[in-house]
């Protein structure tokens, strides 16, 4: 089965692309959901995080206190490395297992926001980048969740540079105009991926 890794900068329209692939009947795996599931209470990753960071990493209900964890690792590269070494191998293994288990879909799309940053490229046959201008990114994120300019800039700075994403993409879908135009581009890619799946 053809495996497509989908990524793009914040506000570029990854969620909209995913919605369209789902409407077309394509199997979709979201790395962010997988990341949440692997740290549910009593899971091995959850246990290792508690051993590493202590009980203060938990909320009263036993789930991870994401806000506390984010702050704990934000300015400490060593602790961030510890957390990522617990999470990413498990997320990767889970994604691989779910891709292998997908049947009834001509290909599978995996939404990985940090695909380049965390070295997921080798899991996929094709890399699809959803792209728009940086001005559009800022406008969309501000409109979507009211984030401050500083927060948007810091998120954009933490992601791999736009030109690096575009340089390493097998397919680029540009999302700068009307939604029906964007959907048509996804539909065209869908036809292309179906043909590639049958090779």
Residue ranges of domains in the chain:
1-26+105-194, 34-98
Nearest to 87 by CA among 73, 108, 71, 101: 73
Residue 26's pLDDT is 97
Paired with 128 in beta bridges are: 6, 171
For the segment 111-121, the average pLDDT, to the nearest whole number, is 91
Nearest to 63 by CA among 46, 80, 75: 46
For the segment 65-80, the average pLDDT, to the nearest whole number, is 86
Known binding site: residues? 11-16
Q: How many CB atoms lie within 10 A of CB 30?
A: 18
Q: What is the pLDDT of residues 118-159, one digit of tens each?
A: 889 999 999 999 998 888 888 888 888 777 888 888 777 778
**Mean pLDDT, the chain, as a whole number?**
91
Using the predicted structure, report yes or no on whether residue 25 has a pLDDT greater than 70.
Answer: yes
Residue 103's pLDDT is 82
Separation CA 27–CA 109 (nearest Å): 6
Q: What is the pLDDT of residues 161-188, one digit of tens each?
A: 889 999 999 999 999 888 999 999 999 9
Known binding site for ATP: residues? 11-16
CATH number of 1-26+105-194: 3.40.50.300
Strands (E), the chain: 2-8, 27-30, 107-111, 126-131, 171-174
Q: What is the pLDDT of residues 49-68, one digit of tens each?
A: 999 999 999 999 999 998 89
Using the predicted structure, report yes or no on whether residue 199 has a pLDDT greater than 70.
Answer: no
Nearest to 119 by CA among 94, 96, 150, 88: 88
């Amino acid at each position: 089965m053809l495996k497509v890794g989908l990524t793009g900068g914040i506000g570029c329209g990854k969620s909209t692309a995913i919605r369209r692939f789902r409407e077309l009947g394509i199997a979709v795996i979201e790395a962010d959901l997988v990341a949440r599931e692997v740290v549910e209470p009593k899971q091995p990753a959850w246990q290792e995080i508690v051993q590493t960071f202590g009980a203060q990493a938990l909320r009263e209900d036993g789930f991870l206190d994401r806000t506390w964890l984010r702050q704990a690792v934000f300015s400490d590269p060593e602790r961030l490395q510890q957390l990522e070494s617990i999470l990413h191998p498990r997320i990767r293994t889970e994604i691989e297992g779910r891709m292998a288990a997908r049947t009834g879909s001509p290909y599978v799309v995996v939404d990985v926001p940090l695909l380049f940053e965390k070295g997921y490229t080798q899991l996929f046959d094709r890399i699809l980048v959803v792209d728009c201008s940086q001005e559009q990114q800022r406008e969309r994120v501000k409109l979507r969740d009211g984030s401050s300019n500083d927060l948007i800039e810091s998120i954009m700075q933490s992601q791999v540079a736009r030109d690096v994403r575009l340089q390493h993409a097998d397919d680029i879908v540009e999302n700068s105009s009307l939604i029906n135009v964007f959907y048509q581009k996804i539909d065209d890619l869908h036809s292309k991926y179906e043909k590639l799946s049958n090779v």
